[in-house]
Structure 1
Amino acid sequence: MWIVLVFALAGGVAQLVDGTLGMGFGVTSASVLLFMGIAPVTASAATHAAKLPTTLISGLAHWREGNIDKAILLRIAVPGAVGGFLGAVVLTNISLEAAKSWMAGLLIFFGAVIFARFGLGVRLIPTPKNGHTARWISPIGLLGGFVDATGGGGWGPVATPSLMTVTSHEPRKVVGTVNAAEFVVAVSVSFGFLTGAAQHGIPWLPVIGLVIGGVIMAPIAARLAGRLPHAAMGTMVGGLVVIVNGVTIVASLGGLPGWADAALILAALVVTGAVARRAWYREKAERAVAEVVEPALAP
């Protein structure tokens, strides 16, 4: 029972982050499962099994809050489902060791994307600056779905910053649309894993915990979208994902002495905390300026 409670807490925190930032649930959940020694295919299948109810509730909650653009939802969800199915099929047909290295490396990359986006204000994923919006939405969905399935997470880190670039929507509407589309992607990815029999060996107790925590937190996160300190939260999530998967990579290469592992992890946590603190102050300053400027520009 304790493992259900622990993962319920983890699922609640992950969904709070995902529902307010538009990314984080899959990357966080897959990182924890991979760190526990779960096989990559099983970790991704388990993550997407947990996503089915959490993304459904989250999507409905964002819909109720008016955070969804229906036209963009269809344009990104359908190609996302295609990419997700293909990614699941690919992951079930590569060797265990190759899959583990690929997934850990991909999760480190997306952790770095999240860390840089919110902690440093830098976008590591290049997104088009010009051109008609409709031209880019389908490729974004296709790529996001594929990396989400093969990496156990990645839909949000690809789709959210990309839509913020190619659309003129405010952040809460982008986050809501991405969260709602993720349900369609999760269904497709889960079906892809079922065809490859990846459902065998899924650690159902952690999945149940993730579902409980995620479902409880989903409507709360939808209501808080746009109100919480995104920069600090995103920085901490990105940093922790890099640290956890970095440990997995180092262990696969033979590992380091225990004291060296502990020292590196502690140093990484200190750096992550310091950057998160600076990001929080930066965001507070930007919001203060916006509160002064916006009334002045109002007619």
Structure 2
Amino acid sequence: MEFLPLFLATGVVSGLLAGLFGVGGGLITVPILALILGAQGFPREHVMQVAIGTSLAVIALTAISSTRAHHVRGAVRWPILRWLAPGLMLGALLGAATAHLLSTEVLARIVGVGAVAVALKMILQADPVVRDTNPGRLLLSVAGTVIGWASALIGIGGGSLSVPFLRLTGLDMRTAVGTSAAGGIPIAWAGAAGFMIAGSGVAGLPEGQIGYVSLPGFAAVAVASVLMAPVGARLAHRLPQIWLQRAFAALLMGSGVSMLAGAV
């Protein structure tokens, strides 16, 4: 119970980011969850897997709330998502299997590098140039698999990867964010299932777990996240994008550096 306020605060940040940027907030949620689990005396060799698996389980709910908020504003391109989704699910399952084979230290470094890279992209405002306004089914399927694999490996909803890709297909920023939020649903559901299965036979995990998913952490973070995701979506349609990008980049940089510095 002493960690409940931290779990709830993590959920508030995660939900806001889900609505604002079409991301699951995992690049913030995973480092914080890892630190909380470590402080609880959780087995070190499984800290990152559980942080990532729990993050994906939270995103499985947050993404639905965020998607609904973007859909009512006409910001989800469903025909594109239809061909992305199978690849996203396959990639997410592969990502969970990959994470199961890696150590906590390696996963922490991967999450840290991912967070810093995304932060730098946002700071430099590296907006992609539109190259293909009519992506084929094969391209969408391959891109979905790569995005799903990388996203599940580090516990994110895929927005930091899928938004730039969707921008390349010609979608405007808000539609790319909305479609990315919807893409977080297949990534998170398949990824969370993969982490539950991968961790089901692992010895040494405490009670209150389903594989690599912490039920107490999931419940507390998910409640706050689901409530805040629609708020983030409303803000995304009102606040200046450059201000939002800078704030998000600062959060990402801090979490990424903490992972690379060995905070977990």
TM-score (norm 1): 0.73
Are residue 162 (structure 1) and residue 165 (structure 2) matched? yes
Corresponding residue number in structure 2 for 1:118: 122
Corresponding residue number in structure 2 for 1:33: 33
State the alpha-carbon separation in 1 of the partners of residues 212 and 186 from structure 2.
24
Secondary structure at the counterpart of residue 131 of structure 2:
coil
Deviation at 1:44, TM superposition (A): 1.0
Corresponding residue number in structure 2 for 1:109: 113
The one-character-per-residue Cα deviations of 1:196-240 (angstroms, maximum 9, x if unpaired) are: 135346443332221111111122222332322333333333333
CA contact (8 A) 1:110 1:154 kept: no
CA contact (8 A) 2:196 2:212 kept: no
Larger Rg: 1
Deviation at 1:45, TM superposition (A): 0.8
Are residue 50 (structure 1) and residue 58 (structure 2) matched? yes
State the alpha-carbon separation in 2 of the partners of residues 131 and 106 from structure 1.
32
CA contact (8 A) 2:147 2:158 kept: yes
CA contact (8 A) 1:144 1:158 kept: yes
Corresponding residue number in structure 2 for 1:62: 70
Letter of the 2:19 counterpart: G
Letter of the 1:232 counterpart: W
The runs of 5 or more residues in structure 1 that have no matched partner are 254-299
The one-character-per-residue Cα deviations of 1:17-52 (angstroms, maximum 9, x if unpaired) are: 221222351111112122333611111111111112
Question: How many pairs were matched up?
Answer: 246
Q: CA RMSD in A?
A: 2.6
Deviation at 1:128, TM superposition (A): 7.8
Letter of the 1:244 counterpart: S
Change in Cα spacing, 1:202 to 1:189, as seen in structure 2 (3 Å) is closer
State the alpha-carbon separation in 2 of the partners of residues 246 and 193 from structure 1.
25
Q: Which structure shows the bigger proportion of residues in helix conformation?
A: 1
Corresponding residue number in structure 2 for 1:78: 86
Corresponding residue number in structure 2 for 1:189: 191
Corresponding residue number in structure 1 for 2:21: 21
The one-character-per-residue Cα deviations of 1:36-71 (angstroms, maximum 9, x if unpaired) are: 336111111111111121111222222222111110
Are residue 250 (structure 1) and residue 261 (structure 2) matched? yes
CA contact (8 A) 2:26 2:156 kept: yes
State the alpha-carbon separation in 1 of the partners of residues 196 and 90 from structure 2.
15
Change in Cα spacing, 1:105 to 1:234, as seen in structure 2 (3 Å) is farther
Letter of the 1:12 counterpart: V
CA contact (8 A) 1:27 1:153 kept: yes
Q: Percent identity?
A: 23
Letter of the 2:11 counterpart: G
The runs of 5 or more residues in structure 2 that have no matched partner are 201-209
State the alpha-carbon separation in 2 of the partners of residues 33 and 239 from structure 1.
18
CA contact (8 A) 1:114 1:157 kept: yes
Change in Cα spacing, 1:62 to 1:200, as seen in structure 2 (3 Å) is same
Letter of the 1:6 counterpart: L
State the alpha-carbon separation in 1 of the partners of residues 167 and 140 from structure 2.
11
Corresponding residue number in structure 2 for 1:176: 178
Letter of the 1:163 counterpart: L
Change in Cα spacing, 1:35 to 1:241, as seen in structure 2 (3 Å) is farther
CA contact (8 A) 1:118 1:230 kept: no
Deviation at 1:141, TM superposition (A): 1.4
The one-character-per-residue Cα deviations of 1:78-110 (angstroms, maximum 9, x if unpaired) are: 21111000111121133x3xxx23322332333
Secondary structure at the counterpart of residue 19 of structure 2:
helix
